[in-house]
Structure 1
Amino acid sequence: MKKLYLFILTLALNAICYAQSTVVTDGSGDATTNYVTKWEDGASYKIKNSLLYDDGSYIGLGTTSPLSKFHMVGTDSNSKLILQRNYSLGWGTSLDLRTLSSTTDYIYSERAIGAVAFSGEYNGDANVGVGAQMRAYTTENWSASGYGSRLEFLTVANASTTGVVRMTIGNDGKVGIANTAPGSELDVKGTLRLTGSTSGYVGFAPAAAAGSTTYTLPSADGTTGQVLQTNGSGVLSWLTPSTPSTGWQITGNSGTTDGTHFIGTTDDVALNFRVNNEKAGRIYGSTTFLGYQAGNSNTSTGSMNTGIGNQALYSNTTGDSNTGVGYYSLKDNTTGYSNTGVGEASLTANSTGYYNTAMGFRSLDDNTTGFNNSSFGFGALNTNISGNYNTAVGASSLLTNETGSYNTTLGYYADVSGQYSNATAIGNGATATASNEIMIGNTSVTEIGGEVGWTTYSDGRFKFNVTENVKGLEFINKLRPVTYQLNTKELDDFVSQNMPDENKASRREGMDFTPSTAIIHSGFIAQEVESAAKECGFESSIVQTPDNDADPYALTYAEIVVPLVKAVQEQQKIINDLSTTVNELQEQLNALNGNGEKTMQNNIGAQGNSINIHDLELAENAFLYQNVPNPFSEGTTIKYFIPENANAQIIFYNEFGSQIKIFNIEENGMGQLNISASNLAAGMYSYSLIISEKVIDTKKMIKQ
């Protein structure tokens, strides 16, 4: 501004000198202090005040209170500064805002070198605020080889006093909008809007955390219907989309080639399906989900899972190796693993349980933490919560179990009447009433049978504490054999009393108690048998006493054979003692009669044989049976009975009475000889039983 002032002053002085070489003064002039004077027009040459005011520090144009080197003030529309140059040398008018360093011979980088500010007053002339600005900065240390710079444009927002850089033109010519370090020819931070000529606009907005990708447009326009595609590196090209003849249509497709056309991906990316923008399917790696919200919460660590059906495996997070097929199958499972649920709501509530298998509608529905359970059938193990190692086969099988473990049921509504362990029920409505119990059939069953008898382990290698304290005749004589009928319906009410009422009616479907109630049984009353055993001091497992209020008395009838055998043994001893007494009395009778050889005639079979009473005494009931078959052609069998401590033989004779063979019998009791006919000629033979050199009996046999 100082230069402008000097320039104006010089022009004035030159004009004066040119007009008149002698300065003439006139006391009537009105020039005042600090004003730069001027000559009054005309011949008077009076000195008057000009528009310039100089207070010694600042020059004012239109003001006597300049605030800067040159301060111009105007009050009308002509208050403006015009710089004009006649255009003759190819240069227009210019305004040079120059900055000089007072300490060095160059300007440092990032120094302000000029600014145009738009300011105005508030609260009187003494308060001036700066609004919009245009500022220039160096971008390097200036030298003869370079004076890089940038230009910034600032505005002040409403209700603010701080200018903000809105646009920057860098030293490389790149323009930044809301970006002070533009990286391209035009770098806009935020939304770019292109407004229509009449209305509306088209806007482009990057993501908040953009991927720093530059897209390179094709060199020419595409054809009608083409769309832009990227090569993955930001290079765009025109693509002709699939036509209806080759693309998949929502109304169906034709002309496809098996093995060539497919729906899916060609890279290592999961195939996902959605319905109403909700997950409805995912196929990737070892995990497959298909159905509305199936596998909705599954994480990357939940692997080898298969969920098919509405919300199948919905809550699964890290559980693995699970299979859920059906509506709500394994819906609440979170971390449980190796579970299989097939059927609507199978294993629905399972959360952390593992190694469970459920097949059937609502099978293992309520299970949450139980593990190693297997259920097959509608509602099988439906209410199980934390029971483990249970197996249920059949509709509503093991329905009421909640916490019991190691139970097995087979059949429709086969169940246990409480929370037991190691209980087994087999058959329609069969009910186990205690732990460690096996129950076959329901109370309406009239017969249980099989081809062979029931076998019980009886290996002496595993028995201990073996004693002979079995009661025989004393116990047996206290028993009361009876015939009776059983009210099987009341018995069924009794064993099922702890089951939920809503299950009892379904459980009894197909049960007819009339036939089972009509049976006339023979047996004992369990309570009476228990009383008889207590009176004898006989401890055994014959009587099964109740374990709980739903467990009836029962008898193990097969075990009654043991005291029966003991009773027979005791009775036989009595018989033997009586026989000895009879023999002694017979000897005394013989002695009284004086006849030691009195005989009795005894007809045996079709052949009449005389048996001497004395011989019977020696034989002590020894007996020789007729050979079978007789006659015979290939072989025959001879049975016999030898008493204890007897020396016995069987001697064979031909039809002429000649002895042909002797068999010594080494063992007592019942025995038999198997005779081969290979060395015998056809004809009649005889054989005799000899005991202590006495002939007991003789039989005849015929070889054909």
Structure 2
Amino acid sequence: MKKQIMCAGLIALSFFARAQNASYNINSNPITGFNNTGFGFQTLLSNTTGNHNAATGNYALMQNTTGSQNSAHGMNALRFNTTGELNTATGSTALYSNTSGVRNTSTGFESMRQNQTGVSNCANGYWALYSNIDGSGNTADGFRALFTNTKGTLNTALGFRADVASASLTNATAIGANASVVGNNNMILGDNNVNVGIGLSGVGIVPANKLELNTTASSPYFGSANGSSGLRFRNMTSTATPMANPGAGVLSVDANGDVIYVPSTPSTSNFGGSCSLPFTSSNLSSDYRVGLNGKAVNFSGTGNVNIGDVNDCMFSGSSSPARLWVRNTFGSPNPIVGFRVDNIGGPGAYAAYFSGDVFSNGVTTSLGGFVSSDKTIKKDIKPIANGLDILNKIQPKTYFLDNSNVPQLNLGDNRLQYGVIAQELETVLPELVKEITVANQIDNNGKEIYTAKQLKSVNYTALIPIIITAVKEQQQIIEKQQKQIDALLAINTAASERNKTLTQTNIELSDKNAIVLDQNVPNPFAENTSITYTIPSTFKTAQIIFTGIDGKIIKTAEIKESGSGKINVFAADLSSGLYTYSLVIDGQVKETKKMIKQD
């Protein structure tokens, strides 16, 4: 037996070890794997064709069948792995539940315990990446690091309890003890008590603010040469960042993109080579500007705030009505918020307040909304009449958006749309249609690309009260019809009871020129009923026409032959109510009957 084991190049120790490199293992059971090493109770117990595996500790790689090049060290390490390859588990119960996950590295007690199919993860520490099931490309270092992650990918957590706030984030990074990141593509440094210092290593200075930068530059201020502020903005525009035109005593950005301090002492030098540095109130009056390109903002009056990355966004003498203009180019694939206002105040505190019309050139997304409808701001209040008639005149449509006539709208949504045409609705409800102006569009040089356009818009919210009125009117009609149906049912029931006590004698009379339209049987009916008729031999055309209570034709049945006949009517999908059917011969209505459909 020893000879067989040594020839196979296999070390198999302890009861039930199943690693082998020949046709027989220590228990003489034929298996096919080779270059496997098992040490411990039931290590590599189920292995068949898995190769180059190493298992140390009771139950390590116990369920492995075809997985190769795995290393499991510790009790229950990689216990349930079957086909997973290139995994390394060090520590009791590390990668315990892994079945087919590959290229995972797990070090520490119960690290990556729940992982099943996740790939290319790295966990180091007690319970690191504990809950991960099929998330991939994650890195966790520290006690309970990335403990919450189950399906998230490309996440990183470094430090004691560094974690994500939800189980399925992507590209989220938490660095520092108790750091927690809540969104995709975000990085968090430390918990909320941490201050970050850059350039403060070994200088004996403790950062007292959330972010402090330290530099050894001797001249990081306005007008200095070769200075470095320790903070620089790069690639902010498509061309080199020009020098800004700041006010006195402010932080600004120089031509290299470095953040600099401009002293409050007036200067007569030109800043940027295009405009003089203003210091007196006679130059400007309560204006503020932020620009990234040359002439990104030139002042146009009093009390304007202009922010943009386009030349002549708002220029001197401009007729633009905007007091605050934020011009921003969205990036791809990562969108950028052009303007954002946050508010976490209580009731009555608004993140934004607009006294006037608001125009949105794009989709507006909201978690909910309220429209002012207080009685105190209304007068001449009257109920809506004829809601059903109004609703019948409105013609809903399906359509696709067309961007050719107003290209500045950027109508990129090519999905099927549902709505009404403003011009059509205007003929029915002119109060719900309003004309709006779509602003023109200019290029980086201030040249107009697209002219302003006039469009009609619809107040869809105002349709809701009309729909409510129409539904109520329709309900009244339904209830009235139901009363008629109930009355007819009562009459029919009474007649049926009387007929039971009458002596009946059946005779049949015929007249080849007679015109007869019999009552449908049964009536009322649920799914189907029958109608018999007699047509004269001299007819040219004959039809039985079915109509609803509103007079609209539902069905026309053509009759081809004279004499007696029968029509079987199937109407399971027809709504309950009162209907009529008429016998029309040679264009003339000869007789009309009523029938009742009930559920």
Q: Does the TM-score normalized on the shorter chain lie above 0.5?
A: no
Which TM-score applies when normalising by structure 1? 0.29
Which has the larger Rg?
1
1 or 2, which has the higher strand percentage? 1
Q: Which structure would you say has the larger RCO, counting Cα contacts within 8 Å and 6 or more residues apart? A: 2
